[in-house]
Amino acid sequence: MDKQKLIINGGRKIEGELSLHGAKNAALPILAATVLIKDGESVIHNCPRLTDVDAALRILSHIGVKCRRSGSTVISDACAIGNCEIPVRLMREMRSSIVFLGSVLGRTGHCRMSYPGGCELGPRPIDLHLSALRSMGAVIEETHGFLDCSAPKGLNGTEISLSFPSVGATENIMLAAVTANGVTVVEGAAKEPEITDLAGFLTACGAQISGAGTDRIVIRGKEKLCGAEHSVMPDRIAAVTYMCCAAVTGGELILSGADIGHIGAVVPVFKEMGCRVYSFGKDSIYIKAPERLKAPHTIRTMPYPYFPTDAQAPLMAVCTVADGTAVFVENIFDNRYRHVSELLRMGAKIKTEGRVAVVQGVRRLSAAELVSPDLRGGAALVIAALCAEGTSTIVGISHIDRGYEAIEKSLYSVGADIRRI
């Protein structure tokens, strides 16, 4: 357990303006994609300062990519990669490290890595990744927790039909296919904005990709990609999280550098709870909460463009103090109600059974000493602590640092009584 903790005195309204950082879930595959660039530097703007991003940069450095950071910009040079093996200690730092499989295999024809780490959200099998790469000609041996992958005859384009729109599998296929021989067609592809952002970077580098953002992506392989400049999309889950902070405290918040189109399934939930939400200008979202929120009806997590699983825990924290009863159905991951036991310690009324959680709103929560169970569960505890009576302590905040850039500084700037010690 990390030694740092957050101290939050509840009862302060969140009011003011915040600038969103770049999306973790877009930055990571884009950084992995820089491995494929043989000619020139990749310049990635709006790259967030997160521990997951730091882990990705360590992986890049280990395999021979020269990386340097200047503020929110990362510049990488992958012209001379000398290592295609990623050690266990680096793989364990984040689950998304599996995305390096497609890019390293595509670049070098070989890759050896252990199974990835990250949040423990129940089984997240990588079978879709492996079967897709095998269909492209990869030979993959799985022994003692390691993946030994090679492409003795090169990777070849093919038609791949995904049984589930896995974001990670879609990304790995794209990364492997952009320099493969021939045309790869992905049916049942993930449609998340982060997929579109990855395609945008690869296209800027010279890749030929069409259909990103739909369930059918076509990739025409090219022998060589060149360096390009790209700005990472805003973090839509961070946007939802900070909107939850405003909502739960009866506050009023402007998020700049945000795209309301990325959270189209979440905005109606805030409105149902009584919040005013709208976009203005090119990239700003406004939210104003009522004095007492109304509980929304059933919230079901589903792949994009429906309600995102990453927003489930933050919204549940808001619902603990809403008037009425809300029902959550988690359809994406098992073991994603680990934050519930901590919310119960604050006086929340929540019952869970399998994939279903029923939240009966209470008037107020009480402060408590809390343990962050994972990234989004930790964010949920921050949200709950902001509206609780008294002073809450949250430990295990390394989970939160994986996806939120200095969350305490952001919230302090808009009125929260929060500090890190």
Q: What is the pLDDT of residue 120?
A: 54
Between 260-264, 267-271, 333-337, 346-350, the lowest mean confidence (pLDDT) is in 333-337
Alpha helix (H) ranges present in 306-363?
A: 312-319, 340-344
Report in angstroms the alpha-carbon separations of 405 from 242, 253, 264, 390. Answer: 12, 18, 23, 25
Active site residue ranges = 119
Report in angstroms the alpha-carbon separations of 231 from 73, 75, 113, 140, 200. Answer: 9, 12, 29, 34, 10
Report in angstroms the alpha-carbon separations of 416 from 68, 181, 358, 365, 413. Answer: 33, 54, 28, 16, 7
Per-residue burial over 31-50, b = 16 or more CB atoms within 10 Å of its CB, e = otherwise: bbbbbbbbeebbbbebbbeb
| Cβ contact 9:403 at 8 Å | no
> What tokens were used for 107?
């670049």
What confidence tens digit (pLDDT) does each residue in 2-38 have?
789 999 999 999 999 999 999 999 999 999 999 999 9
335 or 165, greater pLDDT:
165
Phi (first) and psi of residue 83, to 5 degrees: -145, 130
Average pLDDT taken over every residue of the chain: 96
For residue 175, the Cα-to-chain-centroid distance in whole angstroms is: 18
Q: pLDDT grade, residue 125 (50/70/90)? A: low
Q: Which of 193, 192, 130 is nearest to 162 (CA)?
A: 130
Q: Which of 149, 172, 317 is nearest to 241 (CA)?
A: 317
| Cβ contact 196:215 at 8 Å | no
Q: What is the pLDDT of residue 258?
A: 97
H/E element, 67: strand 66-70
- For residues 356 and 225, give the distance between their C-alpha atoms in angstroms, rounded to a whole number: 46
Q: What is the pLDDT of residue 96?
A: 83
Q: What is the pLDDT of residue 1?
A: 52
Going along the chain from its start, the domains and CATH numbers come out as 5-20+234-420 (3.65.10.10), 24-231 (3.65.10.10)
| Cβ contact 343:370 at 8 Å | no
For residue 180, the Cα-to-chain-centroid distance in whole angstroms is: 27
97 or 321, greater pLDDT:
321
Give the mean pLDDT of 41-56: 98
- For residues 344 and 276, give the distance between their C-alpha atoms in angstroms, rounded to a whole number: 29
207 or 115, greater pLDDT:
207
Q: Is the pLDDT of residue 291 over 60?
A: yes
- For residues 281 and 316, give the distance between their C-alpha atoms in angstroms, rounded to a whole number: 30
Give the mean pLDDT of 361-371: 98
Give the mean pLDDT of 376-397: 99
Q: What is the pLDDT of residue 2?
A: 76
User: What single-letter DSSP state applies at residue 79?
Assistant: T
Q: Which residue has the tokens 């995102």?
A: 308
Q: Is the pLDDT of residue 409 over 60?
A: yes
DSSP secondary structure letters along 86-125? E-HHHHTT-GGGGGHHHHHHHHHSEEEEEPP-S---S---
Q: What is the pLDDT of residue 117?
A: 60
